[in-house]
Amino acid sequence: MYLDPEKTSVRLTETTKAGGCAAKLSPAILDNVLSKLKQPANPNVLVGFDKADDAGVYKISDELAVVQTVDFFTPMVDDPYTFGQVAATNALSDVYAMGGRVISALALVCFPEKEDVAILERIMAGGLSKMIEAGCAVVGGHSIKDAEIKFGYAVTGLIDPRRVLKNSSARVGDALVFTKALGTGVISTAVKRKIADSVWVEAAERSMTTLNKRASEICLTRDVHAMTDVTGFGMIGHAREMALGSDVGLKIFASATPLLAGARACVEAECIPGGLRNNRAFAESCVSVAPDVPEQVLSLLYDPQTAGGLLVSVGAADADALVADLRAEGIAAARIGEVTPRTHPILTIAA
């Protein structure tokens, strides 16, 4: 039966084992595989897959480079239109995390052959709404039959090759600023288990459908040295990449790190996605934790985020002004830590 796309009612989270960025492969698997892949050096590749950065950057001229990224995943929300919006927001974020400007995208669709096509229509309409908001032209795509629904985009952007915000250029003495809040992974798990409060779901969906476009633009006006978006590997996983790439230590203050409404309650209810466990197993050997850090908050620092916020390494003298600028535009932002000389372990979680 064909359903009215405006009235389609389906719980997408019931169709998949893991949703959103929690469905990503374990970072341990990726690290093992990618470390063995080698290719000839290319002077125009400013950022490649060997850098564990958010997107690839290829230099066209002294004034112009392209930013390329791809991201798709399974549903983490029940409404098809919202799922499409989240998938688009997440895919666009990698370009913003590099300081780039998006220009075009290709849609990636995996869809069950016998599923109602009205669901797909709503997913793609939701995604297109965010692409239009971003000023990004959807110019084509590719689809295949699949038992599980998956959706996302390959996104292309432009950037000044002299102003690429890598995740590997944090400086000792910088402050760490974070936009948005943590908890989308555990809340999505609570949704799947049908125990999520509507207030939690609304807050998580609002976060996951908020573009990082304006936040990135504001960061470019300040003394920002490094930036990354916090997604599937969680705060600690992406902080680890920043610390290793920059050859520094990072200290994160747990009490200063924003959490979504209901995130701690979800942890207490043991709504722990498999991605959180994978992230913790991979990265916890790199982390020193103060004894007074609450276990629920520590767990959320490993929580896989979907369409998460930006982790920004900014000159300490500019940090408070950056937070003020972001908040003045209605963007959630907090100063959550600092960049230190290289430590062992490389990350410190303080209360």
The whole-angstrom separation of Cα 159 and Cα 98 is 8
**What confidence tens digit (pLDDT) does each residue in 43-80 have?**
999 998 887 888 999 999 999 999 999 999 999 889 99
Residue 26: what pLDDT? 67
**Do 64 and 183 form a contact (C-beta atoms < 8 A)?**
no
Which pLDDT score, from 0 to 100, does residue 1 have? 27
Sign of CA dihedral 24, 29, 31, 34: negative
Q: Catalytic annotation on 110?
A: no
Q: Tell me: the pLDDT tens digits for 163-218? A: 999 999 999 999 999 999 999 999 999 998 999 999 999 999 999 999 999 999 99
> Can you name the CATH fold of 12-159?
60s Ribosomal Protein L30; Chain: A; (3.30.1330)
Q: Name the catalytic one among 21, 136, 219, 271.
A: 21
- Is the model's pLDDT at 285 over the cut of 60? yes
**pLDDT value at 15 more than 80:** no
pLDDT of residue 18: 59
Which range has the worst mean pLDDT, 17-21, 183-187, 288-292?
17-21
As a whole number of angstroms, the distance between CA 250 and CA 233 comes to: 16
- The domain limits of the chain are 12-159, 175-350
pTM of the model: 0.90
pLDDT for 53: 84
At the topology level of CATH, where does 175-350 sit?
Phosphoribosyl-aminoimidazole Synthetase; Chain A, domain 2 (3.90.650)
CA dihedral 160, 162, 168, 169 (to 10 degrees): -130
Question: How do 347-350 and 333-340 pair as beta strands?
Answer: unpaired
User: Which are the contacts of 261, defined by CB distance < 8 A and separation ≥ 6?
Assistant: 199, 200, 203
